[in-house]
Amino acid sequence: MRSLPASAEAVVFDCDGLLVDTEACWTVVEAALFAAHGHPFGPEQKAVVIGRTVEAAGEAMARYFGRPGAGAELAAELLEGARKELARGAAALPGAAELVRACRAAVPVAVASNSPRELLDVALWSAGLADCFTRSFAADEVRSPKPAPELYLTACEALGADPGASVAFEDSATGVAAARAAGLYVAVVPSLPGADLDHDWLGASLAEPELRGWAGGLRRGGVC
C-alpha cells in the first residue's frame, strides 16, 4: 500500500456518500424498490447498487430480482424517487467542507460523480458545498462513467493535472475502481462499514485528524 503524497497536482472528490449524506436518501428509495419485489434490504442488497449510475443500478436490480429487461423501468423509478428524497435536503458529511477548503487552498479541486447532473447539483447545493467547486463532472456527461476511468481522467484534464500525481477521495468499490484505473492515489471512507476496498489511505470519516493534517500540509506539484 502506498500513502497519500505530500504534494499533488489536483484532488478530485466523489460526492454521494463521501461529501454529502445522500446515501440515506438513496437507501430509502432502494429499500422501497427491493420491498416491492419481495426482497429485504440490508448491506448485501446495498452492495448491489452502491456507487453505480442510476442506469447501472437499474440493471443490477433487474438481475437481482430475476426480471431481465426491466432495468430501464427500475432505473426510472429509482431516479424519480431520488429526486423526491433529495428535494428534502441532504447535509454535508462530517469534515467534508473543511477538507475540501483545505485542499482547495493548495491545489485545484473538482467533483467526479456517478450521479446525473441534476442530482449532483442538488446534492452539492443542499449541503452548502456548491461554492467550493468551480469544476464538477457528472455521469451523464461522459461516455463511460464509473467504474471506467473516464470521469477521473476528464476531471484531471480539465484541471491541467497528471492523474498519476493526483488524489481521489471515494467511498465505494465502483468509485475506487474508476480512480485506480485512471491512475490516481485513492483515499477511502467506506459508505458500507467493513467494506474491503483498495486504498492508499483508509479512514472512518473525512474529519479524522490524520487527514486534516495531510490536507493542511498539502503542496502543489508532482508527487513526492
Q: Domain-by-domain residue ranges, the chain?
A: 7-22+90-220, 23-86
In the structure, what pLDDT confidence band is assigned to residue 196 with cuts at 50, 70 and 90?
confident
- Cα–Cα dist 68/53, whole Å: 18
Mean pLDDT (whole number) for 51-70: 95
Give 92's DSSP letter. B
pTM across the whole model: 0.89
String of DSSP letters for 10-54: EEEE--BTTTB--HHHHHHHHHHHHHHTT---SHHHHHHHTT--H
pLDDT at 221: 86
Mean pLDDT (whole number) for 71-100: 94
| Poorest-pLDDT segment among 63-67, 178-182, 189-193, 208-212 | 189-193
pLDDT at 34: 97
Mean pLDDT (whole number) for 207-218: 96
pLDDT for 118-176, tens place per residue?
Answer: 999 999 999 999 999 999 999 999 999 999 999 999 999 999 999 999 999 999 999 99
pLDDT surpasses 60 at 212: yes
Q: From 1.10.40.30, 1.10.3720.10, 3.40.50.1000, 3.30.360.10, which CATH number describes the 7-22+90-220 domain?
A: 3.40.50.1000
pLDDT at 193: 82
pLDDT at 147: 97
- Cα–Cα dist 22/14, whole Å: 12
Which is more confident, 224 or 201? Answer: 201
Please state, as a whole number, how many other Cβ atoms lie within 10 Å of the Cβ of residue 66: 8
pLDDT surpasses 70 at 1: no
Q: How many residues does the chain have?
A: 224
In the structure, what pLDDT confidence band is assigned to residue 224 with cuts at 50, 70 and 90?
low
The percent of residues above 70 in pLDDT, for the chain, comes to 99
pLDDT surpasses 60 at 191: yes
In the structure, what pLDDT confidence band is assigned to residue 87 with cuts at 50, 70 and 90?
confident
Question: At which residue does the C-alpha cell 442538488 appear?
Answer: 122
Q: What is the mean pLDDT of the chain?
A: 95
